[in-house]
Amino acid sequence: MLSQKIQDALNEQIKDEFYSAYLYLAMSAYSEATNLPGFARWMRLQGQEEVSHAMKLFDYINDRGGRALLGAIDRPPAEFKSPLDLFEQALEHERQITGKIHALYQLATQTNDYPTQVMLHWFIEEQVEEEKSASQIVAQLKLVGDHIPPILMMDHRLGQRAGE
């Protein structure tokens, strides 16, 4: 059985994961509106991945005899300055999520909740991957600057992302 403290923290993380999905969908919509369908696809798939993260936590709470409670989700930004700004914000968001996952792990450690610690290992590894991916794209966008041909080449490459 989950402690109330862990259950509350996991429910908050579910909300954060759904917000992440909203954010990536907003980024996808922006990308579509600016004629970058590859960026839009990448962001849409990332949003779907975030929903799966929320559901993983949702199921875990239920499996441990707790109750998943869904909180209100804030509205994400709708406008971005450029593809670089888009991915810089995505990277910063992933870093914030990493911090929240680490805080959850610390709480699970402090409360001797070993099953939650084990479950959170997956999220810790996932966040390393998420930050690496966004960081690489930011670095590439910085290399190409505002030059349209390389941005269009990146758009094409990002559109090749396989579905999760």
Q: Are 15 and 70 in contact (CB under 8 A)?
A: yes
Kindly state the average pLDDT of the residues 155-160.
94
Q: Where are the domains of the chain?
A: 4-73+82-158
- Predicted structure pTM score: 0.95
| 4-35: pLDDT as tens digits | 999 999 999 999 999 999 999 999 999 999 99
pLDDT of 164 higher than 70: no
CATH superfamily, region 4-73+82-158: Ferritin, core subunit, four-helix bundle (1.20.1260.10)
In this structure, the dihedral spanned by the alpha carbons of residues 92, 97, 100 and 105, taken in order and rounded to 10 degrees, is -130
Report the b/e string of 53-77 with b at 16+ CB within 10 A: bbeebbebbeebebebeeeeeeebe
One-letter amino acid of 104 = L
How confident is the model over 71-114, as pLDDT tens digits? Answer: 999 999 999 999 999 999 999 999 999 999 999 999 999 999 99
